[in-house]
């Protein structure tokens, strides 16, 4: 067998990513907790409940696990509803709690990357119109300043908003996220307000912390036309790629929000990313279909014969990550892969998925593309939004009833990669020998 070591750039960021509502537990004052109480909104009637009990203190043992397995970064989020439970009150105890958690990361030699908005809003924000109202820009800026003033001494990297395209499309077109609407007008308003809110937040962070590095986490799905020879499939693919993938990165690059119904100039948004956060999971094919107006007249499907995850939610398509990295080079920013992972209860697929995707990251870095780091989703199994507890993305398995953690074999694989800053042929042979001939021909 050929021997090889795929080494990553010196100082590469290795971590895992989590979000507050998915791991903390008992976030009873936000829109997602409220959404979970209505039957039919979450698969099998699942609820976040205690989640991973981080608010109860079990972050300590999970941070220990991250630190002991070679990671040097961790991405976590702040729960807005804890910091500002009502419009006229800031909760200093909650800020102290987050300060303790972030200090805990430093004590374990983990550098924090903090996300300010990861899908959840305080109930009072929803009651005042949420992201459809212009007032959200001022609310979010004030929240940003409060958090950054409290935590800036400990946090070098900030993510203002996680996956704005997912938030707007799933909440205001598909109706799968709160507020459960299906409104083009709603999407337009939310997109514009999110662009303005990020811009205001970016400025606020730099006012408080001039040396901070600030970005967003953009979800990219690699779309391909089902029939490359068919113009409508190509048109549909280009349309959805623009709306789902490039809409927000474009406005933060050149200040133009390119919505299907109009173009809106938002000059203050231009140049408001210090790095490009990329969340990538899979690719899919699109076929134009007049019978599917609710999905923009397209039929989506994975490549026949694709390597599928437990529930068929994701296909293992590592080349898609490489092609997306190639695509986003046009923004001329340092790139951090802020999420990448797969649902896999018994860990039969995750080693293969992880190795293949990291090999594509190495390819990009080997071409001197500005890839700075990789965050695996996730450290421990957590509450997966409208899919509840049916999907297990954690390196560590969680028993929801007992809160017991169990190490999956991928923990040791990822630990070796993090410690060595490299992916070796020995690791491939040990954890995914079926990949040897593909990754190391000859």
Dump pLDDT digits (tens) for 377-422: 999 999 999 999 999 999 999 999 999 999 999 999 999 999 999 9
Distance (Å, whole) CA 405 – CA 381:
9
Percent over 70 (pLDDT), the chain: 100
Give residue-wise pLDDT tens across range 81-117.
Answer: 999 999 999 999 999 999 999 999 999 999 999 999 9
Is the omega angle on the peptide bond into residue 378 within 30 degrees of 0, that is, cis?
yes
Per-residue model confidence (pLDDT) at position 440:
86
Which pair of tokens denotes residue 361? 């990251």
Q: Which domain holds residue 143?
A: 5-439
Average pLDDT for 70-78: 98
Query: What CATH number should be reported for the domain holding residue 61?
Result: 3.20.20.80
State pLDDT tens for residues 174-226. Answer: 999 999 999 999 999 999 999 999 999 999 999 999 999 999 999 999 999 99
Question: In whole angstroms, what is the distance from residue 330 CA to residue 346 CA?
Answer: 38
Q: Is the pLDDT of residue 375 over 80?
A: yes
**Confidence grade of residue 425 (pLDDT, cut at 50, 70, 90):** very high
pLDDT at 441: 74
pLDDT tens digit sequence for 3-21: 899 999 999 999 999 999 9
Residue 1 has pLDDT above 70, yes or no: no
Q: DSSP characters for 284-296? A: EEEEE-TT-GGGT
Strand spans (E) along 42-125: 73-77, 111-117
How far is residue 284's CA from residue 315's CA, in Å, rounded to a whole number?
Answer: 8
Structural domains of the chain, count: 1
């Amino acid at each position: 067998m050929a021997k090889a070591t795929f080494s990553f750039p010196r100082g590469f960021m290795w971590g895992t990513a989590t979000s507050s509502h998915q791991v903390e537990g008992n976030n009873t004052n936000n829109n997602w907790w409220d959404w979970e109480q209505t039957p039919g909104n979450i698969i099998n009637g699942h609820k976040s409940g205690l989640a991973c009990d981080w608010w109860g203190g079990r972050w300590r043992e999970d941070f220990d696990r991250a630190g002991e397995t070679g990671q040097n970064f961790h991405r976590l989020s702040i729960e807005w509803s804890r910091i500002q439970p009502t419009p006229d009150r800031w909760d200093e105890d909650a800020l102290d709690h987050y300060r303790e958690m972030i200090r805990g990361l430093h004590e374990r030699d983990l550098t924090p990357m903090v996300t300010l908005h990861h899908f959840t809003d305080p109930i009072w924000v929803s009651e005042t119109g949420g992201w459809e109202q212009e007032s959200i820009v001022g609310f979010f800026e004030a929240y940003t300043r409060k958090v950054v003033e409290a935590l800036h001494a400990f946090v070098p990297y900030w993510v203002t908003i996680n996956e704005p395209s997912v938030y707007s499309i799933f909440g205001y077109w598909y109706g799968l996220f709160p507020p459960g609407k299906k409104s083009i007008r709603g999407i337009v308003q939310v997109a514009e307000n999110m662009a303005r809110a990020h811009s205001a937040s970016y400025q606020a962070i730099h006012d408080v912390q001039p040396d901070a590095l600030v970005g967003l986490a953009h979800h990219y799905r690699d779309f391909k036309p089902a029939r490359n020879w068919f113009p409508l499939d190509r048109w549909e693919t280009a349309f959805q790629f623009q709306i789902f993938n490039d809409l927000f990165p474009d406005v933060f690059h050149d200040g133009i929000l390119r919505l299907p119904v109009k173009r809106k100039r938002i000059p203050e948004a231009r140049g408001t990313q210090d790095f490009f956060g990329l969340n990538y999971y899979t690719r899919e094919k699109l076929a134009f279909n007049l019978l599917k107006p609710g999905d923009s007249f397209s039929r989506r499907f994975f490549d026949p014969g694709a390597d599928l995850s437990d529930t068929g939610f994701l296909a293992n398509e590592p080349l898609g990550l490489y092609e997306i990295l190639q695509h986003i080079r046009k923004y001329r920013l340092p790139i951090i892969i802020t999420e990448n992972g797969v649902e896999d209860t018994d860990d039969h697929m995750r080693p293969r998925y992880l190795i293949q995707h990291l090999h594509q990251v190495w390819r990009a870095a080997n071409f001197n593309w500005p890839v700075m780091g990789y965050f695996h989703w996730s450290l421990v199994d957590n509450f997966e939004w409208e899919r509840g507890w049916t999907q297990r993305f954690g390196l560590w398995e969680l028993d929801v009833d007992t809160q017991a953690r169990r190490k999956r074999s991928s923990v040791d694989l990822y630990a070796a990669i993090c410690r060595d800053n490299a992916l070796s042929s020995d690791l491939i042979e040990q954890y995914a020998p079926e990949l040897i001939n593909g990754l190391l021909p000859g």
